[in-house]
Amino acid sequence: MNLAFKDVKFNFPRFLLTMAGVGFLIMASTGMVGLYRGIVEDALLVVDRIGADLWVVQGGRAGPFSESSAVPADMDRRVEGIAGVSSVRRFVQVSQQFDFEGRDLRASITGLDFPKDRGEWVQLQEGRYLNAGHFEAIADESIGLALGDQVRLGQDDYRIVGMTRGMVDASGDGLMFVTVNDAMAIARRRTSEEVLLARAAAGKTAAADASESSVPQDSKIAAVLVTLDKGADEDRVRTNVLSWGDANILSRADQRDLLLNQRLWRLRLQILAFTGVLLVVMAIVISLIIYMLTMEKLHQIAMLKLIGARNGVIVTMIAQQSFLIGGGALVLGLAMSKLVFPFFPRRVVIDPSDFAGLALAVGAVCTFASLLGIWRALKIRAQEVLS
Amino acid sequence: MTAAPILSVREAARHYRSGDSIVKALDGVSLDVNAGELVAILGPSGSGKSTLLLIAGLLEPPTEGEVRIRGTLVSKAGEELGRLRDFRRRNIGFVFQKANLIPFLTASENVALAMEIDDVPARDARRHAERLLAGLGLGHRAGNRPTKLSGGEQQRVAIARALANDPTLILADEPTAALDGARGRQVIALFRQIADTRGAGIVVVTHDPRSLDLFDRTIELTDGRVIGERSGPVRIPAR
Ligand SMILES: Nc1ncnc2c1ncn2[C@@H]1O[C@H](COP(=O)(O)OP(=O)(O)O)[C@@H](O)[C@H]1O
Ligand SMILES: [Mg+2]
């Protein structure tokens, strides 16, 4: 007969509770690791998916994610002329807070260089890509808008024609894709006071340029995305752009590095540190629980020795129970993670290899704890039954 | 009578050091128990009865002297007894004041466990356990866990467990202490029956003078020495 299993069956509610407790710890660890993965994935989402080989940004700056960047709106023409450049797109991204049906919403407005880019690199949940040069938007679910909603941004109303899931910027704000021109218009939003002041500063009257940009800076874009020809010499393009003096050029790898190691490194370190703390707590708690389970049974273990049970019987009972708790808790932890984390405000990535690593750690902890319990159990003498 | 006794303790002593002084828990005790014999050990508290049983049961080595089981020398001074677990399992059954049953196993599982750890196949072990329990009047209790059993029933399960591997020697340390008089006598009667039918040698430490008529022999200990030994059952005078 299987002693470990009989004991579990007899004390089932207690075992279930223990397992649930350990399961919650595993869930918390999964969540912490998943949060880390999620933040990294979110931060790199645009850089990885937008399909640009090179980013031409403001000179002397490492924009547009790590620092702000502003380049003239016609910079794309200049870049397009460089040998080896296959295509260019203009890129704008602005954080925007707006009111929708009495709710305060946030979005990271991202410009698509329509009609070259209608958003096809974005994975739609429902709806369609941009069809018109103006007043259409693809919004992420996390913003809180729905397909068909009309939302006022800047001076205009935009209709949500497509929906995405899980497309956010580095700080977790949902992305809303509009055309670059619309994005620039939204970024230009000013109070009429500001508009007047800006115009005065520019030495013009309101009447004189009703149709022109209010402030020169506002008609700038953040970056120019470059796609290279196959086999093009990236360094030649790079040297060429740098020689202009007013522009800097970054590769996709540069952008990833900047995001992870400049903009997010404190946050990443913090989460990693917390993950470490949590893993230590988990290890201690699991060891204690399993060790205490063995301690409780010392009398019975002494009895087993008295009636002549081999050490194998005792070792098996302790180890099986330990791994039953560990294994059950892992299953429970994973199930709860899958169930609960999708409702968390930020993405929690449950990476199979991360979870496998966690399972391995739990296995190691269970092994350690049962060894500790076994060591204690083998030390007890049969005659201690009598005390 | 040439067969070696089932149990033969020769001049066994056991000294415990407590602080500076040495407690002579056992001070040169000899005891022979033959097959089918039921022996009582009497004596005041602290007289060394339990110590004698631990030494006879190969749970502790004597400080001096030796223990033979069916003629084989199995324990002497300074012996490391851990390796005797297999021998113990096959040859000696123990019963104590408390039944010490495993709480998460049923009565029959508790008994069957003793056989399973001796490599008896699970099904045979279970069947034999149920037969043993039925023989002790516990057939209807076989499926109950210890907490559902009375003290007397628990003790009978413990006896069934001690019998499971058909040992030649059974050692019982105050098995009736936690039971009332009538039930206590039932337990001793059970030992009498086991000695008669199975031919096991049985040593019982007891305080209860009312059941002494069931024993073949009585040995009285005081301060670690045998101070009296009476052969033949103590017959309660007929009215
Ligand atoms: N492990 C031990 N360490 C020290 N002294 C002990 C130990 N076991 C028993 N003793 C002492 O040995 C004496 C005999 O004990 P025991 O055999 O338990 O007596 P009984 O069972 O007759 O009451 C007692 O004085 C007791 O205190
Ligand atoms: Mg005693």
The answer as to whether B237 is a domain residue is no
The answer as to whether A80 is a domain residue is no
pLDDT at A193: 67
Which of A232, A381, A373, A331 is CA-nearest to residue A24?
A331
Q: Please tell me the total count of domains within chain A.
A: 2
Question: Which of A126-135, A296-305, B82-91, B93-102 shows the lowest per-residue confidence on average (mean pLDDT)?
Answer: B82-91
A36 shares its domain with A100: no
Q: Name residue, tokens 């900047």.
A: A258
pLDDT at A215: 36
pLDDT at A216: 38
The answer as to whether A115 is a domain residue is yes
Q: Is the pLDDT of residue B140 over 50?
A: yes
A118: left (phi over 0), alpha (psi -120 to 50) or beta: alpha
Number of the ligand closest to the Cα of B221: 1
A368 shares its domain with A270: yes
The answer as to whether A61 is a domain residue is no
Question: If pLDDT is split at 50, 70 and 90, which confidence band does B209 have?
Answer: confident
Q: Please tell me the total count of domains within chain B.
A: 1
ipTM for this prediction = 0.87
pLDDT at A194: 65
Ligand 1, atom 1, residue with closest C-alpha: B16
pLDDT at A209: 44
In chain A, DSSP assigns E strands to 54-58, 71-72, 85-91, 93-100, 103-112, 124-127, 136-140, 150-153, 156-164, 175-179, 220-221, 223-228, 247-251
A17 shares its domain with A97: no
pLDDT at B234: 58
In eight-state DSSP terms, residue A52 is -
Ligand 1, atom 5, residue with closest C-alpha: B16
CA distances from residue B237 to A29, A48, A281, B234 in whole angstroms, order as listed? 78, 103, 72, 9
Mutate to test the interface with A, among B94, B163, B169 (most CBs of A within 10 A): B94
CB-based contact B77:B141 (threshold 8 Å): no
The answer as to whether B64 is a domain residue is yes
Q: Do B96 and A300 count as a contact with CB atoms less than 8 A apart?
A: no
The answer as to whether B183 is a domain residue is yes
Of the candidates A140, A172, A189, which is a domain's last residue?
A189
- Interatomic CA distance for residues B42 and B47, integer angstroms: 9
Of the candidates A189, A211, A241, which is a domain's last residue?
A189
The answer as to whether A140 is a domain residue is yes
Q: What are phi and psi of A44, to 5 degrees?
A: -90, -5
The answer as to whether A207 is a domain residue is no
Torsion sign over Cα A284, A287, A288, A289:
positive
Q: What is the pLDDT of residues A83-97, one digit of tens each?
A: 899 999 999 999 999
Domain that holds residue B222: 7-100+167-231
CA distances from residue B53 to A123, B19, B148 in whole angstroms, order as listed? 80, 24, 30
For chain B, state the CA radius of gyration: 18
Out of B14, B16, B20, give the residue to mutate to test ligand 1, the one with the largest number of ligand atoms within 8 Å of its CB. B16
Residues of B in contact with A386 (CB under 8 A): 50, 96, 173
In eight-state DSSP terms, residue A211 is T
With H, G, I as helix, E, B as strand and everything else as coil, classify residue A97.
strand
Q: What is the 3-state secondary structure (H, E, C) of chain B?
A: CCCCCCEEEEEEEEEEEECCEEEEEEEEEEEEECCCCEEEEECCCCCCHHHHHHHHCCCCCCCEEEEEECCEEEEECCCCCHHHHHHHHHHEEEECCCCCCCCCCCHHHHHHHHHHCCCCCHHHHHHHHHHHHHHCCCHHHCCCCHHHCCHHHHHHHHHHHHHCCCCCEEEEECCCCCCCHHHHHHHHHHHHHHHHHHCCEEEEECCCHHHHHHCCEEEEEECCEEEEEEECCCCCCCC
A98 shares its domain with A29: no
The answer as to whether A18 is a domain residue is yes
Q: Name residue, tokens 């700038």.
A: A220
B88, B104, B112: residue with CB nearest A10: B104
Question: If pLDDT is split at 50, 70 and 90, which confidence band does B136 have?
Answer: confident
CA distances from residue B74 to A164, A386, B39, B62, B92 in whole angstroms, order as listed? 80, 22, 21, 11, 12
Q: Is the pLDDT of residue B157 over 50?
A: yes
Q: Do B94 and A306 count as a contact with CB atoms less than 8 A apart?
A: yes
Residue A10 forms contact with B (CB below 8 Å):
yes
pLDDT at B18: 85
A10 shares its domain with A115: no
- Interatomic CA distance for residues B9 and B28, integer angstroms: 10
User: Which residues does ligand 1 sit against, CB inside 6 Å?
Assistant: B 16, 18, 23, 25, 43, 45-51
- Mean pLDDT throughout B162-173? 93
Name the burial class of residue B118, with classes exposed (0-12), middle (13-18) and buried (19+) by CB atoms within 10 angstroms of its CB. Answer: middle
CB-based contact A99:A83 (threshold 8 Å): no
Q: How do strand B201-205 and strand B169-173 relate by DSSP bridges? A: parallel
- Interatomic CA distance for residues A146 and B187, integer angstroms: 81
- Interatomic CA distance for residues A39 and B202, integer angstroms: 74
Q: Which residues in chain A come in under a pLDDT of 50? A: 206-217
Q: Do A308 and B112 count as a contact with CB atoms less than 8 A apart?
A: no
Of the candidates A156, A189, A222, which is a domain's last residue?
A189
Spacing, Cα B205 to ligand 2 middle (Å): 8
Name residues with Cβ closer than 5 Å to ligand 2, which is an ion.
Answer: B 50
B177-B183-B185-B190 Cα dihedral, nearest 10 degrees:
-100
Of chain B, the end-to-end C-alpha distance in Å amounts to: 36
The answer as to whether A238 is a domain residue is no
Domain that holds residue A172: 93-189
CATH value at residue B219: 3.40.50.300
Q: Do A306 and B59 count as a contact with CB atoms less than 8 A apart?
A: yes
pTM: 0.79
pLDDT at B3: 76
